[in-house]
Amino acid sequence: MYPDHVDGCVAVIGDVMLDVYVHGRVDRISPEAPVPVVEVTGRSKVLGGASNVAANLASLGCHVYLFGVCGKDRAGMALKTLLSKAGIGDGLHVDLNLPTTSKTRVVAKETGQQLLRVDEEKVPHLDSLTNHLMIGFTKALESGHLGAVILSDYAKGVVTSALVAEVVRICSGLGVPVLVDPRRGMWDMYYGATVIKPNIFELRAAANDPNLDRTGDIIETARRLAVEYSIRGVLVTLGARGMILVLNGSHWKLPAMARKVFDVSGAGDTAMAVFAACICSGQSMREAARMANLAAGVVVGKQGISLITRKELADADQATVD
């Protein structure tokens, strides 16, 4: 079950984003082109990417520090305001030459269907950014007990081989687990991490096997990659098939818990946040994976990027007992 109290704080390092939703009515097609005309009825902004991981942790009662990069623009100001409201420690580096990474989704009010997504992003200058982030991360280590570090890699340029190596080196000496949410097929840059959480597509890319699908083959592949990259555990998310945890040669299959699936957006972020929160509280990785699987089942039943609450997680856990 989810703990009443989370011991220690969690540092999240990665690609922060602002998710913008434009909601509107659609009742006609444009006379200029065969596209729907959207009459805007509302807008909303939420934390996305690595900042969504941090927001889920804060919603669960964790103390959180977030490290990444944003621009000095309206999106960056909105991002920082949301972090402040959520009580998340802001370790963002502001780069005057970058736009804040943002995703704007246009959604039909009647159906909830996403009609269009517009992305704004630019890869940062890697060497200087890594130095800025490590300075901030090192200062955060001095301010209190760190229970876990999450590397939330959306392949936008923040999580580099140099950064991962330094974080793993520091955390290994402190006995702090490093948890990775990957977006790349090359796992050599994650060498030495404690746990990595790929989905099936990311596992296929890492194994260079586009046909990987059978449960037994997934387990064996995860074991092989864990040994090859000196990673203790691999938590594979399989969508409607649930999750598989491969840990120190053993494995556990966790069936999907969602009764209805409306939107998978952010489900991986929520699962990672719950996994880390449970690890910080001294729970086993097996129990942490079980709770992460429950959390994913809750959030895919909601529309859009949604946070998990302690009550929702407790209710979902109780439902498995009943």
- Domain total in the chain: 1
Burial class (CB in 10 A: 0-12, 13-18, 19+), 212: middle
What is the arithmetic mean of pLDDT over 178-192? 93
How, if at all, do strands 243-247 and 250-254 pair? Answer: antiparallel
**Among 89-98, 141-150, 161-170, 225-234, whose mean pLDDT is lowest?**
141-150
| Helix (H) / strand (E) containing 270 | helix 267-280
Which residues are catalytically annotated?
A: 269
Return all residues near 13 (Cβ < 8 A) that are at least 6 apart.
50, 67, 68, 133, 137, 149, 150, 151, 152, 158, 159, 163, 167
**What CA–CA distance (Å, rounded) separates 292 from 277?**
10
Top mean-pLDDT range of 5-9, 55-59, 236-240, 260-264: 55-59
**Averaged pLDDT score across all residues of the chain:** 89
Q: What is the pLDDT of residue 195?
A: 98
**What CA–CA distance (Å, rounded) separates 314 from 91?**
31
Q: How confident is the model at residue 251 (pLDDT cuts 50, 70, 90)?
A: very high
How, if at all, do strands 233-237 and 243-247 pair? Answer: antiparallel
Q: How many residues does the chain have?
A: 322
Q: What is the pLDDT of residue 16?
A: 96
Residue 103 lies in a domain: no
Residue predicted with more confidence, 201 or 143: 201
For the cut 60, the answer to whether the pLDDT of residue 262 exceeds it is no
Q: What angle do CA 117, 179, 253 make, to 5 degrees?
A: 90
The CATH number for 222's domain is: 3.40.1190.20
pLDDT, tens only, 133-165: 888 888 777 766 789 999 999 999 899 999 999
3-state DSSP assignment of residue 167: helix
What is the arithmetic mean of pLDDT over 177-206? 95
Top mean-pLDDT range of 29-33, 139-143, 310-314: 29-33
Residue 200 lies in a domain: yes
Residue 250 lies in a domain: yes
Residue 27 lies in a domain: no
For the cut 70, the answer to whether the pLDDT of residue 305 exceeds it is no
**Domain range enclosing 194:** 9-15+49-96+126-321
Residue 176 lies in a domain: yes
For the cut 60, the answer to whether the pLDDT of residue 31 exceeds it is yes
Query: Assign residue 235 a region: left if phi > 0, alpha if psi is -120 to 50, beta otherwise?
Result: beta
**What CA–CA distance (Å, rounded) separates 322 from 111?**
33
Cα–Cα nearest to 12, from 167, 142, 187, 123: 167
Q: What is the pLDDT of residue 197?
A: 97
Four-residue CA torsion sign, 185, 190, 194, 197: negative
Retrieve residue 282's tokens.
């001294």
Q: What is the pLDDT of residue 153?
A: 95
Four-residue CA torsion sign, 130, 47, 303, 275: positive
For the cut 80, the answer to whether the pLDDT of residue 283 exceeds it is yes
**What CA–CA distance (Å, rounded) separates 73 from 100?**
7
Q: How confident is the model at residue 82 (pLDDT cuts 50, 70, 90)?
A: very high
Residue 262 lies in a domain: yes
Residue 118 lies in a domain: no
Residue 210 lies in a domain: yes
What is the arithmetic mean of pLDDT over 69-80? 95
**What CA–CA distance (Å, rounded) separates 80 from 74?**
10
Q: How confident is the model at residue 8 (pLDDT cuts 50, 70, 90)?
A: low
